[in-house]
Structure 1
Amino acid sequence: MRMYIYDTYKRATDLGIYMVEHNSTVRSTARHFGISKSTVHKDVTQRLKQLDPALYAEVSIVLEQNKNERHIRGGQATRLKYKKEKC
């Protein structure tokens, strides 16, 4: 059981570091590590808060930035979708 807990905490830390270094979204981080979005989100919002508050603060800035930009990204994706269909 101890090994599982250690692996979970190491994973949470690795995910946080990756998100900060690459200014990455939860979805792209999940794709990179080969795990679900739900796991990434839980690790960086709940587990990381207890493990490494300093890293959690940096990750929360990235998450907030992504949240503020999501409507723009969605609009760009829709624009590209209909642009491809038109051609």
Structure 2
Amino acid sequence: MKGFVEQRAVELGEYIIQSKATVRKTAKKFGISKSTVHKDVSERLKKVNPQLYRKVKSVLEINKAQRHIRGGMATRRKYKGDC
């Protein structure tokens, strides 16, 4: 069972890098919780594949810096009626 968790962490990391996905989008794609995705890519991946971890970390840092913009755009669409 332990090998499955490490493999999942690598798969999640590769998906995040390829699609520049957020934690939320990744969780939805794989059918798992956001906290599981976060734990896998921030803790487990660091031990399993440090090089991949660094790449994922940089993508997530960009996403984190942009999240206030995405939130504002979503709110604008909500009240503008473009949903």
TM normalised by structure 1 equals 0.92
Structure 1's consecutive aligned runs of 4 or more residues displaced over 2 angstroms after TM superposition are none
Q: Map 1:4-19; keep pairs closer than 5 Å.
A: 4-19=1-16
Q: Map 1:7-86; keep pairs closer than 5 Å.
A: 7-84=4-81
Structure 1 gaps, min length 5: none
SS of alignment partner, residue 81 of structure 2? helix
Q: Deviations over 1:23-43 (max 9, x none)?
A: 000000000001000000000
Partner Cα separation in structure 2 for residue 59 and residue 80 of structure 1:
29
Q: How many percent identity over aligned positions?
A: 56
RMSD: 1.0
Q: Give aligned pairs, total.
A: 82
Which of the pair has more CA radius of gyration? Answer: 1
TM normalised by structure 2 equals 0.96
